[in-house]
Amino acid sequence: MWKYIINILLLLLTQFNILESNTPGFTLTPYMYYDSFSNGSVFHTNKKGSATITTVGLSAKKETSNLSIHGSFNFTSTRNVDLLLSHFDQSLFFEKKRGYYNSDNNWFESSLLSIEYKKTKNLSFFGGKKTIHWGQGNSSLILSKDIPSFPLLGFNWKLSNSLSLEYFHGTLSSQIVDTTNTLYENIVRRNVYYSRSLAGHKLSWEITQHLTFNAMEMVVFGHRTTDIHYLLPLIPFWSMQHYIGDIDNVQMCGELVYKPNSNSNLYFSLFVDEWRPEWTFKSTNRNWFGYQFGLNKNNIFHEKDFFIVEYTWTDHRVYNHKYEINNSYTYDYPIGFWAGPHAEELYIIYSGKIRDLNINIKSSLVKRGELTNEILEGQYKDIIYERYSNFFETRSVTSLKVEKSIINNSIFISCMLENIRWGNPGFDPKSPSLNQLDRVNKTSLNIGLSAYTDIIFK
């Protein structure tokens, strides 16, 4: 039986020219990252006390004329890192916590796989376990790269010279335990989680050489890994979820991108989680929105430097649903804006080079409010809630990072100085209160070492 299956697969691969290769090499890349934070950076709320994050991994790459496969596996170990704070940091996200025996330190493992097959110059298919970033900004309102990877399948299709369509179907991790499942109970219980899935499609229209409009729609649905209604990429999900009973979570996002020249982008995004048109201008409404606008400019002082200034704002009612299984989260990270609902951020960064030094100057001013059960229930009863009217958290982080290659662009050493001004640190939006450390101001000196090398098999 297996002989016949293998022969059929080989026939299909040959038929689609997948085995043909203009670049027969196969590349393995072992790598390591080590970061030490003198006063913990934003990874714990104490004024003093160091923290470290260490990652070792292996990536692999194979490319042919119409097929590319990239994969990686990471092992990460943390010391003195508060894992709850990873949900309030754009750069740090974990799939699942593992603890060392007789220690407060933790370790994690994660994997990535990206497969892309180009059928024609206008049609390609992709899949694997990866993330997708929809949106022009550093952050995204609807679908972000700043989350753990998840299994998905999809395609890109250029419909005309000015129109293109992207579609995918994937599976998230709900972290909602299925307490009715007892198949894995014995000496040690293993948790089984309810399934949570999502599908999305994006239509991009190049209106002119300088102006592009992106229309994005996504649906999050629970307790099933696939749904035939959302396997139809050319039908609005908003209509299909009404067809099956209005039980799922549909979200939409429109984006305008103005590109006056090859080095600059101006963009504005509007995210819609729910909208009642007839109530739009009333004080009591169903306008559950988020918005973002920003500027991205490249090649300012020299080639390959860039500058970004971006502001993002989210209503307290977005991303959550009346049925918890349909919340827009995976591993408890929002799949849209990294700070979640009831939040806002002003983000500024400049990255460039001075001689052989990579320079990175960054500032993030972020604020987020509470998300109690009362607030979530009140949104479906049209109860008016005044933004930040009770507990909230503020954090300002300004940093200067200098990085230098010390051995043939394979080993890098970095030094970063951070100034952190933090109000109500350790804030829990679901169970808010004023922290005993009502305010923490600290400076953290961070040292980093990274190394990688390519091993090419010809």
In this prediction the pTM is 0.90
pLDDT band at 5 (very low <50, low <70, confident <90, very high): very low
Provide CB contacts within 8 A for 237, sequence distance 6+: 199, 201, 217, 218, 219, 230, 250
**Three-state SS for 106?**
strand
Q: What is the pLDDT of residue 327?
A: 94
In a domain, 311, yes or no: yes
In a domain, 77, yes or no: yes
Residue 61 has pLDDT above 80, yes or no: yes
Sort 185 into a burial class: Cβ within 10 Å, 0-12 / 13-18 / 19+.
exposed
Provide CB contacts within 8 A for 1, sequence distance 6+: none
Q: What is the pLDDT of residue 148?
A: 94
Domain count, the chain: 1
d(CA 218, CA 236): 9
d(CA 221, CA 206): 31
Q: What is the pLDDT of residue 355?
A: 87
Nearest to 217 by CA among 232, 196, 195: 232
Q: What is the pLDDT of residue 280?
A: 64
d(CA 271, CA 256): 12
Q: What is the pLDDT of residue 51?
A: 95
In a domain, 223, yes or no: yes
Residue 14 has pLDDT above 80, yes or no: no
Q: CA 84: distance to chain centroid? A: 17
* CATH at residue 214: 2.40.160.130
Q: What is the pLDDT of residue 277?
A: 67
Q: What is the pLDDT of residue 266?
A: 97
Provide CB contacts within 8 A for 267, sequence distance 6+: 136, 137, 255, 256, 257, 258, 292, 293, 294, 295, 296
d(CA 109, CA 11): 36
Q: What is the DSSP string of 63-89?
A: E-SSEEEEEEEEEEEEES--GGGGGG-
Q: What is the pLDDT of residue 151?
A: 96
Query: Which 8-state DSSP code applies to residue 279?
Result: G
Run of H or E including 373: helix 373-378
Residue 15 has pLDDT above 80, yes or no: no
Q: What is the pLDDT of residues 269-287, one digit of tens each?
A: 999 987 766 666 666 667 7
Q: What is the pLDDT of residue 380?
A: 75
pLDDT band at 4 (very low <50, low <70, confident <90, very high): very low
d(CA 123, CA 105): 46
Q: CA 319: distance to chain centroid? A: 14
Nearest to 58 by CA among 79, 91, 33, 78: 33
Q: What is the pLDDT of residues 71-90, one digit of tens each?
A: 999 999 999 999 888 888 88
Q: What is the DSSP string of 123-171?
A: EEEEEEEE---BSSSSS-SSB-SSS--EEEEEEEEE-SSSEEEEEEEEE
Q: CA 211: distance to chain centroid? A: 26
Q: What is the pLDDT of residues 217-232, one digit of tens each?
A: 999 999 899 999 999 9
Taking residues 23-50, what's their average pLDDT?
Answer: 91
Q: What is the pLDDT of residue 431?
A: 85
Sort 59 into a burial class: Cβ within 10 Å, 0-12 / 13-18 / 19+.
middle
Pick 21 or 204 by higher pLDDT. 204
Run of H or E including 205: strand 193-206
d(CA 173, CA 150): 8
d(CA 138, CA 146): 10
Structure tokens at 444: 């953290």
List phi, psi (to 5°) of 208.
Answer: -140, 180
In a domain, 9, yes or no: no
Q: What is the DSSP string of 319-344?
A: S--SSGGG-SEETTEESSSTT-SSEE
Provide CB contacts within 8 A for 372, sequence distance 6+: 429, 430, 431, 432
Residue 98 has pLDDT above 90, yes or no: no
In a domain, 212, yes or no: yes
User: What count of other Cβ atoms lies within 10 Å of the Cβ of residue 161?
Assistant: 7
Q: What is the pLDDT of residues 288-347, one digit of tens each?
A: 899 999 999 999 988 889 999 999 999 999 999 989 999 999 999 999 999 999 999 999
- Percent of the chain at pLDDT > 90 equals 67
pLDDT band at 383 (very low <50, low <70, confident <90, very high): confident
Residue 1 has pLDDT above 90, yes or no: no
d(CA 267, CA 310): 9
Structure tokens at 299: 């090649």
Q: What is the pLDDT of residues 334-370, one digit of tens each?
A: 999 999 999 999 999 999 999 889 999 999 999 999 9
- Percent of the chain at pLDDT > 70 equals 91
Q: What is the pLDDT of residues 187-204, one digit of tens each?
A: 677 788 999 999 999 999
Residue 386 has pLDDT above 90, yes or no: no
In a domain, 342, yes or no: yes
Place of tokens 């979530």: 376
In a domain, 78, yes or no: yes
Q: What is the pLDDT of residues 389-432, one digit of tens each?
A: 888 999 999 999 999 998 888 899 999 999 999 999 988 898 88
- Owning domain of residue 35: 24-457
Residue 165 has pLDDT above 50, yes or no: yes
Q: What is the pLDDT of residue 71?
A: 96
Q: What is the pLDDT of residues 152-164, one digit of tens each?
A: 999 999 999 999 9
In a domain, 16, yes or no: no
d(CA 165, CA 201): 7
